[in-house]
Structure 1
Amino acid sequence: MNQNPLVIILGATASGKTKLAVQIAKELNGEIISSDSRQVFKSMDIGTGKDLAEYQVGNTRIPYHLINILEPGERYNVDAFKNDFYSSYQSIIENKKIPILCGGTGMYIHSILQNQLYTAVPVNIVLRTKLEVLSRYDLIQKLSDYPVQNIKHADRSSNKRLIRAIEIAEYLNHHEIPSIERPEIEPIVFGLKNEVERTRSNILIRLEQRLQNGMVEEVKNLLAMGVSKEMLVFYGLEYKFIASYLSGDINYEDLKVKLGNAICQFAKRQNTFFRKMEKDGVKINWLDASLPIDTLKRQVLELLAENRILNVKI
């Protein structure tokens, strides 16, 4: 077995990632590291889809990491995730367990697979405000003003990415990014994918369940705790739309329709990012998420044994 194995299970929202990851963790004596950008926050359980009950398999409670580690109202970013991931990873490996990274935040997963240095560059709000009014042509021209070594990383595919490239180049003009030694991880990546209509159906059924289970009340509690509406918007779709509903901007039926459509669009963007990961050289072993969980578990274990990353016996 490789000294630094990592099983990764990714997929769009409502694809069944957690359920599969938990089953694999039980088989491999593993622990799960969440790669969800919102499940790090306490008191945000329903809206972020934590589904903590799923971490119980029979009499076995599967340990998890990077869930409920921050207070609501705080912020989290890719670089913080990387630091927390490696800390959790090292702890799991030292305990002779198998780490399983599970989630749908593709940017977080990609940052581990590619160990991108530039995630350490902080956001420059003042610079971004100045750049956001510029055209694509002007942004490209501005980027070209920086030394070549500072823009080798640049992604020119959108205004948003051009602005980030300029932000990084400006930072590199005045700072050095310290090199941090990380363990040489040998990952194997599994992806869960559904047909579009099944994804939509799963999302809408899950949304109805979450609304019935108190998602609106969860947002009310966050507002009562002093979390601002602006911060709720930052926390994503469920919190953004429910905050609008509670403010009287939309009615309950509009909330369900608009939020459901927005989550479906978000799932589409997640799958687009996973395709980008593949273009960047990440091999994803895709699985049909509609299959029974026992079938999916067997397929994962067979691929693990075939790749000889872990000592798996089928």
Structure 2
Amino acid sequence: MQNKKMITILGPTASGKTPVAAALALRTGGEIISADSRQVYRRMDIGTGKDLADYVVEGQHIPYHLIDIAEPGTKYNLFQYQQDFHNAYDDICSRGKQPILCGGTGLYIEAVLGGYQLSPVPQNPTLRDALASKTLDELTAMLLELKRKNGSNMHNHTDVDTAQRAIRAIEIETYNLEHPTPERLLPPVDSLIIGIDIDRNLRREKITRRLKARLEEGMVDEIRSLVKEGINPDDLIYYGLEYKFVTEYAVGNMSYDEMFRQLEIAIHQFAKRQMTWFRGMERRGFHINWIDATLPMDAKVETIMRMAKL
């Protein structure tokens, strides 16, 4: 059976990617593969913005993959994502369904579309000890130098926003420098790429509104319950954004107002970095078809189906 060409729907946080992907899946009999580095974790629902209600369209449950596949406190990584993506993609194609990749983690999307050469990278305790006392700025400078030596597109600021993440990125880049990657085993995936283009001011307004809603829905309680079940707060802080700031508040290191203000700024900065990554993808040869986020849903779906010749 010939594989159906994948459709990728990307965009910054709060652009409305998931509802578009779900509406498209309903029309095409498709299944969604998530490309979100935080939504892989179970019981981290509000803070990662899973919005699972978005996967129910007109009373129909849209099948999704690569959400809720890892335990909180673990360090899921890009290499694992590539393997898991191909397992899901092959499964969807084997059943003659339309695969739809949807998310905002540009590195994950680019890795599977471009067939990045990756290998599992073990932890390096000696290196970690040597880096433990360095600041995030110092680690970032080291990482940039390693990336230059490797000619690497991996690990931009979007995914390296804590010292722990920066140390892991340095660990990976150091390993790749010392162990040239074997021949690529996973092929690039041909895909029509759709970008959801949202006006900056509207995006900022939606981010603030959504943050307030998620806090009202119980995001602080969700994080407190994870700490209560024995997950180290430092492991939650590692996940960045909501988990970084709300955990700091939950353990008493920050006031509520300070947490809200700093988190709001961090999410706005994150969305800006996501767009920088997507623009970088375009420079690296990926053609993204941008469609207006404010179009009615039917118009968005019709536009994508016309582009995909469905």
TM-score range, shorter chain: 0.7 to 0.9
Task: Name 1:148's counterpart in structure 2.
Answer: none
Alignment of 1:55-134 (within 5 A): 55-118=55-118, 120-122=120-122, 124=124, 126-127=126-127, 130=130
Query: Which whole-Å CA distance do the structure 2 matches of 1:279 and 1:270 have between them?
Result: 14
Structure 1 residue identity aligned to 2:202: R
1:186 to 2:195 alignment? no
Secondary structure at the counterpart of residue 117 of structure 1: coil
The alignment's TM-score, normalised by the length of structure 1, stands at 0.84
Shift of 1:253: 1.4
1:219 to 2:223 alignment? yes
Task: Name 1:232's counterpart in structure 2.
Answer: 236
Query: Which whole-Å CA distance do the structure 2 matches of 1:70 and 1:193 have between them?
Result: 31
Across the aligned residues of Structure 1 and Structure 2, the Cα RMSD in angstroms comes to 3.0
Task: Name 1:9's counterpart in structure 2.
Answer: 9
Secondary structure at the counterpart of residue 116 of structure 1: coil
1:177 to 2:182 alignment? yes
Shift of 1:72: 1.1
Secondary structure at the counterpart of residue 112 of structure 2: helix
Report percent identity of matched pairs. 40
Task: Name 2:26's counterpart in structure 1.
Answer: 26
Task: Choose the corresponding residue for 2:205, options 194, 201, 204.
Answer: 201
Structure 1 residue identity aligned to 2:175: E
Q: 1:154 to 1:53 in 2, by over 3 A?
A: closer
Long gaps (5+) in structure 2: 158-165
Task: Choose the corresponding residue for 2:250, options 246, 253, 257.
Answer: 246
Query: Which whole-Å CA distance do the structure 2 matches of 1:34 and 1:54 have between them?
Result: 13
Task: Name 2:282's counterpart in structure 1.
Answer: 278
Structure 2 residue identity aligned to 1:79: F
* Contact 1:4–1:184 under 8 Å retained in 2: no
Shift of 1:119: 5.1
Q: 1:178 to 1:220 in 2, by over 3 A?
A: same
* Contact 1:78–1:119 under 8 Å retained in 2: no
Query: Which whole-Å CA distance do the structure 2 matches of 1:156 and 1:183 have between them?
Result: 18
1:300 to 2:296 alignment? no
* Contact 1:155–1:162 under 8 Å retained in 2: no
Secondary structure at the counterpart of residue 54 of structure 1: helix
Structure 2 residue identity aligned to 1:206: R
Shift of 1:302: 1.6
Task: Name 2:47's counterpart in structure 1.
Answer: 47
The alignment's TM-score, normalised by the length of structure 2, stands at 0.86
Long gaps (5+) in structure 1: 145-150, 306-311
For this pair of structures, how many residues does the alignment match?
A: 295
Shift of 1:217: 0.4
